[in-house]
């Protein structure tokens, strides 16, 4: 075999540099074309101070402020060419039109909690529309409704509702720093899902900017698109700027508790096993979730609850349906519903304006896996999960369980794109956290997460193996690098997230965005579109 000469090596090195240089020039041209296009719009002066490029001193702080998974905050993570932080929805249509004209993708961010960073990461030249300034909440107590701009966090929503009424609430996220844009459009669960369903189930109108830059409400977008964005993910269809929601009744007093039992001396595994038979079948006023975690070598099982009623009634009921837990009156605290939104986040219940805080303390790198359990997991399998939790890579992993049943059983699988309804006992998530930013460490922890996911295969839903869209996982239906993605490949993750609703979502996408302008690695594809993993 003939060995290449030094001149050959030099030739190929120069060729690679030339290709990279040409690529950089092309990206710069797209950015310049985009900015020139934007500058020619009639209201550019109103948005000029909200346009950030790499040359702007505030670019990095704006980008990093809403990143909730430090896995995607490294220097090697692809960055947007431009970040736009509009202050009114009228400023967004020119951004959409100019990005489309210039060949730039758009990623839309409201809170930054997306598990795979898709709202601020892309492998092709792109613009981020950061909706952080669109965070107004207008509550109508008489109608029991609210208009919520999509950049608001769920904490802001709860606070604004409580300002107007102590007996109204909304069944949104447990975590108060989640942006409503992604949360509502992916379904969105909270502690009242067993009473009132999901956030998306309680949306009654919305405003969206489509691929042509048109601002549409429910009437003008049509019922098919309105159906799609209440669980099918807004990023596949446009830029959602606001939601109108139906508020729900809450009592003056709710009751909370948080009880932890370890598996070594307090029968934690057996209680966890028993919980599966109790929580999904309980009264719809009762939510009891489970978090399993490790403290040094001890595995702890925490039962946390919000009950829409008084403590005496709760204790009596729990002693009837779950006496093994040993709940007593001293374990319970009565408070207002708004205070419970802080308690459930393990935060002090005063001051209430803590709910307005958009930042989140103690951020760690994260890889998430989600499943739906339709048959109780056997005790020996739970013991196997405990054993895995004692492994070195699981030192900060938690298992997180959210009970279904109640109202969730009563809503048809096809009512919205969110299909995990009747028969789903609970959502199970394996959330693997770690501190170090080294790539080798990330590989180790992600590998553990995948082994956990493989271990759970016999004990969770199948055909399809269901997953929660708002806990997106790019391991599902993963594509070969630079390979073409077929409809069949897309349907792997599509069926996991949406089951039979995936096909209807594809039909809606084909009508409203046939050229697939709004896209990411797991966006809804239009029929016959040619899309690749990089940029889809």
Dihedral of CA atoms 270, 275, 276, 277 in degrees, nearest 10, equals 100
pLDDT in tens, 307-345: 999 999 999 999 999 999 999 999 999 999 999 999 999
- Give the whole-angstrom CA distance, residue 186 versus residue 29: 35
Distance of CA 191 to the CA centre of its chain: 16
pLDDT of residue 487: 78
Per CATH, 27-130 and 254-335+364-468 having the same topology is answered no
Fill in the DSSP letter of residue 415: S
Q: How many residues does the chain have?
A: 536
Distance of CA 511 to the CA centre of its chain: 25
* Domain segments of the chain as ranges: 27-130, 137-249, 254-335+364-468, 484-532
Q: How far is CA 85 from CA 108, 410, 518, in A?
A: 10, 40, 18
pLDDT of residue 99: 97
Q: What is the CATH number of domain 254-335+364-468?
A: 3.40.462.20
- Assigned fold of 27-130: 3.30.43
pLDDT of residue 449: 98
Per-residue pLDDT of the chain (536 residues; tens, 9 = 90+): 444 455 555 555 554 554 445 566 778 889 999 999 999 987 888 899 999 999 999 999 999 999 999 999 999 999 999 999 999 999 999 999 999 999 999 999 999 999 999 999 999 999 999 999 999 999 999 999 999 999 999 999 999 999 999 999 999 999 999 999 999 999 999 999 999 999 999 999 999 999 999 999 999 999 999 999 999 999 999 999 999 999 999 999 999 999 999 999 999 999 999 999 999 999 999 999 999 999 999 999 999 999 999 999 999 999 999 999 999 999 999 999 999 999 999 999 999 999 999 998 889 999 999 999 999 999 999 999 999 999 999 999 999 999 999 999 999 999 999 999 999 999 999 999 999 877 778 999 999 999 999 999 999 999 999 999 999 999 998 654 444 456 788 999 999 999 999 999 999 999 999 999 999 999 999 997 544 444 44
Q: What angle do CA 230, 232, 234 make, to 5 degrees?
A: 75
Catalytic positions: 471
- Give the whole-angstrom CA distance, residue 493 versus residue 508: 18
- Assigned fold of 137-249: 3.30.465
Joined tokens for residue 54: 């790499």
Are 523 and 510 within 8 A, CB to CB? no
Which residues, including other chains, have CB under 8 Å from residue 463's CB and lie 6 or more apart? none
Residue 464 preceded by cis peptide, ω within 30: yes
SS3 at position 71 = helix
HSE, side-chain direction, 13 A CA sphere, residue 355: 25
């Amino acid at each position: 075999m003939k060995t290449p000469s030094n001149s050959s090596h030099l030739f190929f090195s120069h060729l690679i540099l030339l290709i990279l240089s040409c690529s950089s020039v092309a990206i710069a041209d797209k950015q310049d074309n985009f900015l020139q296009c934007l500058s020619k719009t009639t209201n550019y002066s109103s948005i000029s101070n909200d346009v950030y490029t790499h040359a702007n001193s505030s670019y990095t702080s704006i980008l990093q402020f809403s990143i909730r998974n430090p896995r995607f905050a490294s220097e090697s993570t692809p960055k947007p060419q431009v970040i736009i932080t509009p202050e009114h929805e009228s400023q967004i249509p020119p951004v959409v039109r100019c990005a489309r004209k210039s060949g730039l993708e758009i990623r839309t961010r409201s809170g930054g909690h997306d598990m795979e960073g898709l709202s601020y990461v892309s492998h092709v030249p792109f613009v981020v529309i950061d909706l952080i300034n669109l965070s107004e909440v207008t509550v109508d107590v008489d109608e029991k409704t609210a208009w919520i701009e999509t950049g608001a966090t769920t904490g802001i929503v709860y606070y604004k509702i409580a300002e107007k009424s102590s007996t109204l609430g909304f069944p949104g996220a447990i975590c108060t720093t989640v942006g409503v844009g992604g949360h509502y459009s992916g379904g969105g669960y909270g502690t009242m899902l067993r009473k009132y369903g999901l956030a998306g189930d309680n949306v009654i109108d919305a405003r969206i900017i489509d691929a042509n830059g048109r601002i549409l409400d429910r009437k003008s977008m049509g019922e098919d698109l309105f159906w799609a964005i209440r669980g099918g993910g807004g990023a596949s269809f446009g830029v959602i700027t606001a939601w109108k929601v139906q508020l729900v009744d809450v009592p003056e007093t709710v009751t909370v508790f948080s009880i932890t039992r370890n598996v070594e001396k307090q029968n934690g595994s057996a209680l966890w096993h028993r919980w599966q038979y109790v929580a999904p079948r309980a009264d719809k006023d009762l939510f009891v979730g489970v978090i399993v975690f490790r403290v040094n070598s001890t595995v702890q099982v925490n039962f946390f609850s919000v009950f829409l009623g008084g403590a005496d009634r709760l204790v009596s009921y729990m002693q009837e349906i779950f006496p093994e837990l040993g709940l007593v009156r001293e374990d319970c605290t009565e408070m207002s519903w708004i205070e419970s939104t802080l308690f459930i986040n393990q935060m002090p219940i005063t001051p209430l304006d803590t709910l307005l805080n958009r930042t989140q303390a103690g951020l760690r790198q994260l890889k998430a896996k989600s499943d739906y359990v339709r048959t109780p997991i056997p005790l020996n399998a739970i013991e196997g999960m405990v054993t895995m939790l004692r492994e070195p890579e699981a030192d900060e992993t938690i298992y997180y369980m959210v009970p279904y049943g109640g109202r969730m059983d009563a809503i048809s699988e096809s009512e919205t794109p969110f299909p995990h309804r009747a028969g789903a006992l609970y959502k199970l998530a394996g959330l693997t956290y770690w501190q170090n930013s080294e790539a080798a460490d990330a590989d180790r922890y992600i590998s553990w997460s995948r082994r956990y996911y493989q271990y759970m295969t016999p004990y969770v839903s199948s055909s399809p193996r269901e997953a929660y869209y708002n806990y997106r996982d790019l391991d599902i239906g993963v594509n070969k690098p630079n390979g073409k993605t077929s409809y069949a490949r897309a349907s792997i993750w599509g069926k996991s997230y949406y089951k039979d609703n995936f096909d209807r979502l594809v039909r809606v996408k084909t009508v409203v965005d046939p050229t697939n302008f709004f896209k990411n690695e797991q966006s809804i594809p239009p029929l016959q579109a040619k899309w690749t993993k990089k940029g889809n």
